[in-house]
Amino acid sequence: MNNVFDFSRFGQYFLYDMRRAKNNYLVSLLVMGLMPIAIFIIFQFFSLITGNGVTELPDEVKICAVCIAIFAVMLGAGTKIYGAITEKRAGSDYLMLPASTLEKWLSMVLVICLVLPVVLLVLLLASDGVMSLLFPNAYGNRILDMDFARGMIDGFSGEEGFYFNLPGIMFLNWCESLLIFTLGAVCFKKAKVAKTLLCLIAFSMVTSPLMILTFGSTHLGTSDIQAWFSDPDRAVSTINWTLSIIYTVVLGGLLAGLYCRLRTLKH
């Protein structure tokens, strides 16, 4: 049997990892996924007690509810699902599981970066669609449909031919944020989210002056920038290459850091 990676063993461990994620985070994920329903009830409650009657829920409120749900999952999912492995008893049990470090790492990445966003998106789509169907006047139109997504993309489109792949950027941002807080969850023993946030603040304080010094030394005027982005194909190519390099470096570093932490985990 291969000690590094075995498909049968990985499949069994991945199913176990899914069950653990369900036991540790399903209730919280359901609450976040039903946020459109919760925000509708809260909004109508305050509308009724203030004497305004039943009023249509503004689109901005619905968008804020979705953003809150996504942000809460980004902050707490990694800690809730995998944070216990830094504890002595749970960590010892985790180390004794019949799977290699590579298999545990790959399963963790799949759960965090693929399973969570799919389940959360399905819950948000379902709750948003049900509320729009049951209360078409009070809730209004759906915000998580294809027209809304296309409208967001068009909002980042300038001249004809310029296309900004917002869904792809949002997914990569999702992976980046969740991997950061998952790495913090398996590195810190207490106050995992708070310490991770402090590390991010410290990192920003160090890198921001360096970026200012680096880009401040380049003499690019407004006319240079306008000339650069006057060609849509050139602008798209520049943005795509820049974002590709940034996300490759950042995500690669986070994945490597997560693997190294699992590799060196001891109790």
Q: Is residue 113 part of a domain?
A: yes
Q: CB under 8 Å to 141, separation ≥6 — which residues? A: 59, 132
Residues belonging to the chain = 267
- 33 with 120: CB under 8 angstroms? yes
Helices 7-33, 101-110: crossing angle, 10 deg rounding? 30
Q: What is the dihedral of CA 16, 93, 82, 204, to 10 degrees?
A: -140
Q: Alpha-carbon distance 203 to 179, whole Å?
A: 16
Q: Is residue 1 part of a domain?
A: no
Classified as helix, coil or strand, 28 is: helix
- For residue 139, the enclosing domain spans 7-264
Rounded CA gap, 163 and 167, in Å?
Answer: 12
Residue 111, domain member (yes or no)? yes
Say what the pTM is: 0.82
Helical spans, DSSP H, in 114-231: 116-134, 146-155, 166-187, 192-216, 222-229
Pairwise CA distance, residues 259 & 13, whole Å: 16
Place of tokens 């986070």: 254
Residues sharing a CB contact under 8 Å with residue 179, sequence separation 6 or more, in sequence order: 78, 109, 112, 113, 251, 254, 255, 258
From first to last of the 267 residues of the chain, give the pLDDT tens digit: 467 888 999 999 999 999 999 999 999 999 999 999 999 999 989 888 888 888 888 888 888 888 899 999 999 999 999 998 988 888 888 888 888 999 999 999 999 999 999 999 999 989 998 998 898 888 887 876 655 555 555 545 544 444 556 677 888 888 999 999 999 999 998 889 999 999 989 988 887 777 666 655 555 555 555 565 566 666 677 777 788 888 889 999 999 999 999 998 876
Q: Output DSSP code: residue 250.
A: H
CA distance 59 to 4: 50
Q: Is residue 108 part of a domain?
A: yes
Considering its fold, how many domains does the chain have in total? 1
